Amino acid sequence: MKTYRDIVIAGGGMVGASLALQLGAALPEQVSICLVEGYPLPAPLAAGKPEYHPSFDARSTALSYSSRVIYEQMGVWDELQEWLCPIRSIHVSNRGRFGSSLLQAADYGWSALGYVVENAWLGNALIQALYRQGRVEIISPARVVAASPARQGMSLRVEGAGQEVFDTGLLLVADGATSGLREQLGVAVQEKSYRQHALVANVAFAQAHNGCAYERFTDQGPLALLPLLSSAPGEHRSALVWTLPPAQARDLQACPPEAFLQTLQDRFGYRLGRMSQVGERHCYPLALMQSSEQVRQAVVVMGNAAHALHPVAGQGFNLALRDVAELSSVIAAGVARGQPVGDLALLQRYLRRQLPDQERTIQFSHHLPGLFMHGDPILGLARDLALSGLDILPPLKREFVRYAAGMASANDGRGESAGGQHNG
């Protein structure tokens, strides 16, 4: 049986779910939207606390100010608040060198520099918001396994749903970094391995983090500790993202917890006192991945399928969310003018508007770890001065904060205000 949907989103991860919510809010009722997700999604919640969503992993995400603005516009920020730990300050340092800098939200008149949320809770909140919105058809568990051009747009084969073949006016590919659909469509990928893994785990400390995030650059790669909400009284947790050579990351993933904590304590020091516990450890190979094409007639590649970044400055998802907001507003404007949702000129307009932000953010994430890992003594001195300089030179510091908060891009061409409103 063939069925037609105006828009099909393939992949209901953090990007696909956000896209569904935003399009559901921005487009008129007569535009049909369908979200297909490979994992079983949680059931609508009647009351009480949601369950962890299995398809959202054990990682945490630092949401920038630009993401806050987008989620506020989507109407989900208030519900998210319960799961967010505000970042009040960021301590940036360089292991074994003198340079360090403290970036404080209060210095800018803001209440937070960003917000840390565990992916599982963010995913859950988005899915529950989708149920409440009641605008998007959700098909899960099911997978879009094939896509090919058709007269009206794209023809899709879906496995796991009642019906098997869909036609759609616009396919939004949001199936992650290893996107099978991108490959199906013959879209090439430029991939540059960092030859490093990110070791991710939650760590408990003796002392409270007081909303401080730590970004420590070491000769092997950056080590970040993001403040998390306590899950029990008196517990002080931070989310570790530790970039390491692959063999070392694997050894540290497999070694006994005591040995792991000892090594981490040696690297990080005692700023938060003694480390007492580590949760499940996961390793992610790191690469800069960019899709060679993002738009075609009736197709847009989104999220990690379009660009996967080094996690050093927590930019990947924040960038993807700005893509989501821009694409939704361009499609909504096109629909209001009577353009088909998959019209190539419309989709190209989205890309033209969003490409400068993508390029800036990718360059920032790509060059930051390299600058700090370089063994060259002149560069070493330069980065020490740069770090001290962040404290000495307010404009430089402000620029760094603007990038970290996703404002350098949010502010360009879209008229969002960077400063001043960042309260609450």
How far is 121 from 248, CA to CA, in rounded Å?
30
How far is 330 from 315, CA to CA, in rounded Å?
23
259 within 8 A of 248, measured Cβ to Cβ: no
Q: Does 289 bind ligand FAD (CB under 6 A)?
A: no
From the list 18, 25, 72, the residue with the least C-alpha distance to 422 is 72
Nearer to ligand FAD, 39 or 131 (CB): 39
Pick the piece of the chain touching ligand FAD (CB under 6 A) from 80-88, 176-184, 256-264, 366-374: 176-184
- Enumerate residues 300-329 that contact ligand FAD by CB under 6 A: 303-304, 311, 314-318, 320
Q: Does 87 bind ligand FAD (CB under 6 A)?
A: no
Q: Which of 5, 6, 8, 16 binds ligand FAD (CB under 6 A)?
A: 16
Is the bond preceding 141 in cis, omega lying within 30 degrees of 0? Answer: yes
DSSP symbols for 327-355: HHHHHHHHHHTT--TT-HHHHHHHHHHHH
Binding-site size for ligand FAD (CB under 6 A) equals 35
Binding mask 22-41 for ligand FAD (x = CB under 6 A): --------------xxxx--
290: number of Cβ within 10 Å: 18
Binding mask 38-77 for ligand FAD (x = CB under 6 A): xx---------------x---x-xx---------------
How far is 151 from 4, CA to CA, in rounded Å?
12
- Enumerate residues 96-115 that contact ligand FAD by CB under 6 A: none
Nearer to ligand FAD, 388 or 411 (CB): 411
200: number of Cβ within 10 Å: 23
How far is 315 from 363, CA to CA, in rounded Å?
11
- Enumerate residues 125-154 that contact ligand FAD by CB under 6 A: 143-144
Q: Does 124 bind ligand FAD (CB under 6 A)?
A: no
CA angle 321, 132, 228 (to 5 degrees): 50
State both tokens at 129: 């918001």
- We find the least distance from the C-beta atom of residue 244 to ligand FAD, in angstroms, to be 12
Pick the piece of the chain touching ligand FAD (CB under 6 A) from 163-171, 172-180, 362-370, 393-401: 172-180
309 within 8 A of 362, measured Cβ to Cβ: yes
Positions that interact with ligand FAD (CB under 6 A)? 10-16, 36-39, 55, 59, 61-62, 143-144, 174-176, 180-181, 198, 200, 241, 284, 303-304, 311, 314-318, 320
